[in-house]
Chain A
């Protein structure tokens, strides 16, 4: 099969588990993802759903006591779970890059922006410092930073939060990776700044054909941005599909509950639809559906692990789905 016909990213049966003193935490448990070139995929889940660990697994950033137990992550046909560290260094930042919630995870506080950006270019390309600097200047311009020449000579603390996140985005995109993973990059930002960054990310993906995985707890951001959505709960994908299908006609009771609890979907002043209870501890999950304790549609059959069923581009892990 030729590389062009294959999806950009194929994840099959990925399990990332943490072996702690208190027991095994299945942070990512039997996750499948398929992503085509240039598409935007939204992963939505609450704290502890494993969405960030899925991202770290793709980038090979899982630290002990966690490790990838089984499964395959194929990016452009290369299985990332089998890479050694030298090979990782060639791929990370060049073919796949990450934008973190806190831009200071990307930026070094004691180095000027130009130093950091030039280093990012020259780690992957044998170009002169001048040529690398030219690329850095272009990259800053693309993410909407005015007077990039001046800003290149600044340190990270001289930028506002929104600007710092833009610099982190510019660095993630500077080597034109095929895939960018963004983990809640706008959560800490104000609405007007969030809208600026969303608009820039959209344009950058459209123009460069970069695929994007956008991880968030906020369904409404996914609604505006993504082509496809994956809903994650307690380490598993519970529902996935095209964004319109899933949000207009959710089949999993958890997805339905998430959509219904968004304030703007409820009449002002009326009690919000709420999901009762809280997410169970990942240490005490057992075999069955992790949502069954909070689910109004739970059956006896939910005590067994629900299989993933696929139909017409949508996938669902529920034995008693909504019609």
Chain B
């Protein structure tokens, strides 16, 4: 294994979803009409490297592809193109039985603490099942194993005979986290893991994530639409818009001096407790349909600084300062 290799790396990863033609379209096509398949480029040529023990925040609005990207990292879905590496080895090499433990190293925490737990299983089964199947413990010692993990995430181990509906939202989040931790992962993909929680409970769960990182040496890909949460947790920020990464860099820098106009707008529009009686000056327009993304830079129809080239030419993600990348033509035009 190459020691310098990042823990996890994506190279030119894309995911396209193709909608199969319905009956009418198939008939039309059989009769000679030109009916194109509808293709969504959910993730379009994304590179991402995450170092061990790093927390990367992935932000963007609905439909930007952040969840799809997270799912490809966690092996829930396969990319249409591009390669994924774990500690320098391609994911494809990890398919063998001998690499079973390596495959378990990436786990996912889901958004909805209600829908992601089987309502008919007790907590001991939800948390312990995978650990038994993969040999981290056996059926006889399962409950002791589960108790230890529940204790780690701040749940009373005596509750393991209960069903998910007997818990509050915050407790369910902890169960979801415990389930992921049960197979001793090194990397957690957290997809909007605190979005469904109330403010006071959200703070408790964010603190839990930070404590677990310290105690277990975990690495996170933290996906969220909430820049306040991501800013608090992450070392590095990656901003996506309509399937492409538009900016990345150290969180504090991106936050204080955003380069891409989209990032600037996102940062400006975060509601803040200390900003009173604001005059909201929003960026115009809606997020375009990913079925028919705009030409050139996807952001140009909403961008206050767009010029001719943005309409025709898609900007590539380039290094604008050490460790900072941005995909904006303005960086070629003049010093900003």
Identify the stretch in A73-81, A168-176, A259-267 within 8 Å (CB) of chain B at 4 or more residues.
A259-267
Known contacts A217-B198, A224-B271, A193 near B280 by CB under 8 Å: no
B201 and A278 form a contact (CB under 8 A): yes
Q: Cβ of B265: which chain A residues have Cβ within 8 Å of it?
A: 192
B199 and A262 form a contact (CB under 8 A): yes
Q: Which of B207, B266, B275, B286 contacts A272 (CB 8 A)?
A: B207
A261 and B280 form a contact (CB under 8 A): no
Q: Cβ of A274: which chain B residues have Cβ within 8 Å of it?
A: 200, 203-204, 207
In the complex, whether A61 has a CB less than 8 A from a CB of chain B is: no
Q: Cβ of A202: which chain B residues have Cβ within 8 Å of it?
A: 279-280
In the complex, whether A218 has a CB less than 8 A from a CB of chain B is: yes
Q: How near does chain B come to A225, taking the closest CB pair, in angstroms?
A: 7
Q: Which residue of B lies closest to A201 (CB)?
A: B280
Q: Which of B206, B233, B274, B286 contacts A160 (CB 8 A)?
A: B286
B266 and A266 form a contact (CB under 8 A): no
A257 and B200 form a contact (CB under 8 A): yes
B210 and A271 form a contact (CB under 8 A): yes
Known contacts A46-B198, A162-B286, A272 near B203 by CB under 8 Å: yes
Q: Which residue of A lies closest to B232 (CB)?
A: A263
Q: Which of A46, A162, A194, A263 contacts B231 (CB 8 A)?
A: A263
Interface size on B, residues (CB 8 A): 45
A223 to B286, CA, bound (A): 25
Q: Which residue of A lies closest to B198 (CB)?
A: A46
* Interface of A (DSSP majority class): helix
B275 and A199 form a contact (CB under 8 A): no
A261 and B273 form a contact (CB under 8 A): no
Interface positions of A (Cβ within 8 A of B) = 46-47, 160-163, 190-196, 198-199, 202, 217-221, 223-225, 227, 243-244, 247, 257-259, 261-266, 268-269, 271-275, 278
Pick 19 A–B contacts, CB within 8 A, sort by A: A46-B199, A162-B286, A192-B61, A193-B61, A199-B280, A218-B199, A220-B272, A223-B276, A224-B272, A227-B277, A258-B199, A262-B273, A263-B228, A263-B232, A265-B273, A265-B274, A268-B232, A272-B203, A278-B201
Interface positions of B (Cβ within 8 A of A) = 61-62, 168-170, 198-204, 206-207, 210-211, 225, 227-229, 231-233, 251-252, 265-266, 269-284, 286-287
Extra 5 A-B pairs, beta carbons < 8 Å, given A160-B286, A195-B280, A223-B276 = A191-B61, A195-B269, A223-B274, A262-B273, A278-B201
